[in-house]
Chains A and B, each alone.
Chain A
Amino acid sequence: MKTNKKTTSNCNPFDFLTEEIIFTILDYLNDDPFSKKSFSLTCKALYSIESHHRKTLKPLRAELLSRTLHRYPHIEHLDLTLCPRIEDSMLNVVSLACKDALCSINLSRSRFFTNIGLSSLVSSCFNLVEIDLSNGVELNDLAAAAIAEAKNLEKLWLSRCKLITDMGIGCVAVGCRKLRLICLKWCLKVSDLGLQLLALKCKEIRSLDLSYLQITEKCLPSILQLQHLEDLVLEGCLGIDDDALSTLQQSCKSLKTLNMSHCHNHSHVGLSSLINGAENLRELTLAYGPAITEDLAKCLHTFSGLRSVKFDGCLVKCSGVRAIARWPHSLKELSFSKCSGVEDDSLSFLVQAHKELTKLDITCCRKITYDSVDSITSSCRSLTSVRMESCSLVPKEAFVLFGQRCELIEELDVTDTKIDDEGLKSISRCSKLSSLKLGICLNIADDGLKHIGSSCSKLKELDLYRFCLNFQCLHSSSTMFKP
């Protein structure tokens, strides 16, 4: 393999570079697609090396897929979300081209393939580990049966595959014994029976998403008996209520993440019986759920591992917030987004108790004033993400505090607030800032942006919705922005 011509030495220095070394070099170029492109265009040898190196592919056009796969024979991750129309014939092409190299394929944006394409895909690519079939609204049980042939499958997404029923899930459960993640969000025809079978046969499940399924508590015992279950999402499972949950006797010790959003039918009683025994619980999401009362907070008192709590859209009581403040364990993430009832006193009390907060979301907490921001910024110095959209009562002076005290902020959302240039100037001191949302901020002007632009070198996202752009300021700050 030689390219450069200089024949001063008989041996070509490139001869010493084995393929593995060049692969390692190419790995460093993973973030820079243009570099890789130029690399491959250098010479035939490097072209072939690069073509053997590439492992992921995200094509734009499915028609060119066969040629692309011919060029890149070792594709392991194929992301077809940008191709609007994938048909069975293309899946056949993929299966023949990639064969056993393919590990992961994402078909979540196309509706036009059927079980036939899937079965051809699965029969050739027996190393397939991940399949994303979300939004496959026309996939039926035969497709599920085809998927069941993928014996090594570990991750399966079937969100919105509304035609898949218990029969299909039964096939998958029996066929894919190594399944670790399965997402059945909105698969409305799946019921308790299918889930029981799934929990019985696929013992390796780590992550289970059962959002918006019409399930009842009958499937929960078998699900909770999964030894390795870490992530359980029961969002919108309205069939589960307090009475049902109180009959639960099983506990899942391995549970780390629980999401019971949009469940109106249960209260802290049900919740406590569900998470009973889950000592490793780390994240709890109860968005749009029961009221955050003192009882609820008390039943979470014992979970020493709890680090992240999201109470979006719930009715928050002061007593509840104070009870949260009394938790022995220190929260890292807290969300009261769109909660009514969050007030200065209780919030201040809370943040003073949880000084290690890194993420705080108080979107639409309209009662928050300067005091809260003051407490937040003084107590939680290690905040990295703050979302304060529509906190209308917070005066502009408060935003200065962010820059003064919380210099680790990476994400700041102050949409629809009274932030002004002074605040922006102060915030520009946060050198790690990467995302800044300033929509509907009527008080900001070019000066502030100039500061931001000049100081925040890591800024990647800037939302200036409704901002009156002044081209002058853009010009001056654009040089500091990365493309």
Chain B
Amino acid sequence: MEPNDRLSLDAWANPSSSCNGLPRKMSLENPSFTNFNLQQQEQKWDDTSILNYGIRIEPPFLEFNQASESEYLLSSTCNNQPKVLDQEDGLNNEALQTSKSLDWDPRTMLNNLSFLEQKIHHLQDLVHLIVGRKGQALGGHDQLVTQQQQLITADLTSIIVQLISTAGSLLPSVKHKLSTGPPNGQLGELLFPPLAGMNCVPQPQHGSGSVAVQPQCVTGSKVSDQCNQMDVTGSFGTEQNLSIEEHEMKEEEDADEGENLPPGSYDILQLEKEEILAPHTHFCTICGKGFKRDANLRMHMRGHGDEYKTPAALAKPNKESSSEPVIIKRYSCPFAGCKRNKDHKKFQPLKTILCVKNHYKRTHCDKSYICSRCNTKKFSVMADLKTHEKHCGKDKWLCSCGTTFSRKDKLFGHIALFQGHTPAIPLEETKGPSVSCDKMDGNEASNKSGNINFSFGSNAGSGAQNIIEVKEDGDDPASYFSPLSFDTCNFGGFHEFPRPTFDDSESSFSFLEAP
């Protein structure tokens, strides 16, 4: 640790005035996080106090710009505090190496960094408080406890916001250099939009925390462009989420997430299954209600006070265009054995979070939506179902093998190719020139019982026999078009057809039924 500290000290050769003797502290007190925490406990409510930056200095912070603190970043440090020690070495080294070659203003950088350090310590204290609270949860007044917890969580939230903003402000300068360097994290994943975008409701519980954390991962993509220059290692996003909740999460996503795949220099993020399948990705920080869209959340926030009714609060958080090229981010499917999983030999990454969602649902979830028209096709993604319904039933030209075609010449080309395929003519027709029974659509309109003459015999399309069989068969399992549920194709003609128009058919029907 100490060499690292020294390195970091070297980097911060010129402490800014705002830094309260941070370097010294760092050099003196090695691992004693807890010391700091204890010291800071009184200060924990003082958001503005500069945290005594811990031992750990993470490379991304070195590259932080001296930009405004309004840019938010979910700081990797805040969650990685317990693990910080482990990863420090490599990170620090690399960071230092890269930072040396860059042009940046050390002073502002230091300012921001020291501020971050303060905030991190602050955060730590709070988290420890929560731990402590949890232990004491048995005793004490429930009301008090909950109130305190609420205060703590609110505080945590604000601190994290500030951390992120500061960290983000430090980002823009160096990203392109580091893209080839140490493994790049996916901090962008965990960006939540400023101000109202506080989706994270830090709670001491595991499950809820994970839920709270997930949205950050998801919505972070919006703000991720801001901080695309981040070169944070690994999937810091997920790791941060975990640690925010008191380190109780067991997911091991930290192990190899920091790798860069050889083919290109792109980051790989892997979201958890719960994250992917989460119905809501934005959460209200005040009441915890979940929303699918950020706009909906903003609308909801209006009910929590006037400050949310301002145009600024209601405005869509726009992503500022960066002058630097963005890091390519790719995603991995968490399902083990999937070709889209980063552990697969022939790993093929997915491009966006939406891709991940759709892929996961389509591939690893069961298909719960069924097309109401054909009653055959099943989908797991609602959008797929809607797309299918747009075109379901458009094919009216039917072959005996069951294939439908949208055009007559396609049908005939198909029949010309194969032996034994014949055009399939719907069974129900009415006599008389008023209904032209040649076109399939006309037949559908008049198709009362929904039976269709499928001659499935491969060699001898036994149309005639099938006519007889199908008629006697009550429900034709292969009945492709059932007019009862076939809304759009009924043309209204369905209602105009009370019954077959001539007596002969009835007599011939009876003739058939009594062979």
Contact = CB atoms under 8 A, between A and B. Distances in A.
Interface stretch (B26-34, B301-309, B412-420): B412-420
A120 to B, nearest CB: 8
A297 B36 CA distance: 116
A167 B425 contact: yes
A42 interface: no
Interface stretch (A134-142, A366-374, A468-476): A134-142
Nearest to B455: A145
Contacts of A166: 408, 412, 423, 438
A170 B464 contact: no
A442 to B, nearest CB: 48
Contacts of A290: none
Contacts of A189: 438
Nearest to A123: B464
B103 to A, nearest CB: 73
Nearest to A89: B511
Contacts of B429: 140-142
A165 B505 CA distance: 21
Given A142-B429, A145-B453, A163-B438, A114 B464 contact: no
B453 A167 contact: no
Given A149-B462, A149-B464, A92 B420 contact: no
A116 B412 contact: no
A174 B416 CA distance: 9
A145 B463 contact: yes
A149 B429 CA distance: 19
> Max chain B CB contacts within 10 Å: which of A170, A197, A200?
A170
A423 interface: no
A164 B439 CA distance: 10
A138 B431 CA distance: 7
A166 B407 CA distance: 13
A146 B511 contact: no
A123 B425 contact: no
> Max chain B CB contacts within 10 Å: which of A141, A164, A168?
A141
Interface residues of A, number: 38
A92 B511 contact: yes
B422 A171 contact: yes
Nearest to B508: A116
A94 interface: no
Given A114-B504, A145-B453, A193 B408 contact: yes
Contacts of B416: 196-197, 200-201
B409 interface: yes
B460 interface: yes
Nearest to B453: A145
A148 interface: yes
Contacts of A201: 416
A166 to B, nearest CB: 7
Given A88-B511, A116-B508, A140 B422 contact: no
Contacts of B431: 114, 138, 140
Contacts of B453: 142, 145
B195 interface: no
B422 A175 contact: yes
Contacts of B467: 115, 119, 142, 145-146
Given A114-B431, A114-B505, A170 B436 contact: no
Interface residues of B, number: 35
Contacts of B408: 166, 193
Contacts of A171: 422-423, 425, 461, 463
A117 interface: yes
Contacts of B109: none
Contact of A170 (B422, B439, B512): B422
A140 B463 contact: no
B409 A193 contact: yes
Given A149-B463, A174-B421, A141 B508 contact: no
Contacts of B425: 141-142, 145, 167-168, 171
B478 interface: no
B123 interface: no
B437 to A, nearest CB: 5
A174 B415 contact: yes
> Max chain A CB contacts within 10 Å: which of B408, B460, B463, B512?
B463
Contact of A146 (B420, B421, B438, B463): B463
B465 interface: yes
Interface string B393-414: 0000000000000001100100
Contacts of A194: 412
Nearest to A88: B508
Contact of A151 (B412, B423, B460): B460
A58 to B, nearest CB: 25
A344 interface: no
A399 B427 CA distance: 64
A148 to B, nearest CB: 6
Interface string A118-129: 010011000000
A114 B507 CA distance: 12
Contacts of B460: 151
A47 interface: no
A465 B461 CA distance: 56
A167 B508 contact: no
Contacts of A138: 431-432
A167 B423 contact: yes
A163 B443 CA distance: 13
Contacts of A175: 422, 461, 463
B468 interface: yes
Contacts of A88: 504, 507-508, 511
Interface string B421-457: 1110101010111001111100000000000010000
Interface in B485-515: 504-505, 507-508, 511-512
Interface in B298-338: none
A112 interface: yes
A196 B412 contact: yes
Interface string A86-106: 011100100000000000000
Contacts of B504: 87-88, 112, 114
A142 B420 CA distance: 17
Contact of B433 (A141, A163, A193, A196): A163
B432 to A, nearest CB: 8
A318 to B, nearest CB: 48
A191 to B, nearest CB: 9
Contacts of B440: 167
B464 A122 contact: yes
A151 B422 CA distance: 14
B462 A117 contact: no
Contacts of B427: 142
A141 B422 contact: no
Contacts of A149: 462-465
Contacts of A163: 433, 436-438
Interface string B283-300: 000000000000000000
B438 A140 contact: yes
Contacts of B512: 116
A145 B464 contact: yes
B77 to A, nearest CB: 72
A141 B465 contact: no
Contacts of B464: 119, 122-123, 145-146, 149
A194 B415 CA distance: 11
A141 B427 CA distance: 10
26 contacts: A88-B504, A88-B508, A112-B504, A114-B504, A114-B508, A140-B429, A140-B431, A140-B437, A141-B438, A142-B425, A142-B453, A145-B422, A145-B453, A145-B463, A146-B467, A151-B460, A165-B439, A166-B438, A170-B415, A171-B425, A174-B415, A174-B420, A175-B422, A189-B438, A193-B412, A196-B416
Given A122-B464, A146-B467, 9 more contacts: A140-B438, A146-B464, A148-B422, A148-B463, A149-B463, A165-B438, A168-B425, A197-B416, A200-B416
Interface of A: 87-89, 92, 112, 114-117, 119, 122-123, 138, 140-142, 145-146, 148-149, 151, 163-168, 170-171, 174-175, 189, 193-194, 196-197, 200-201
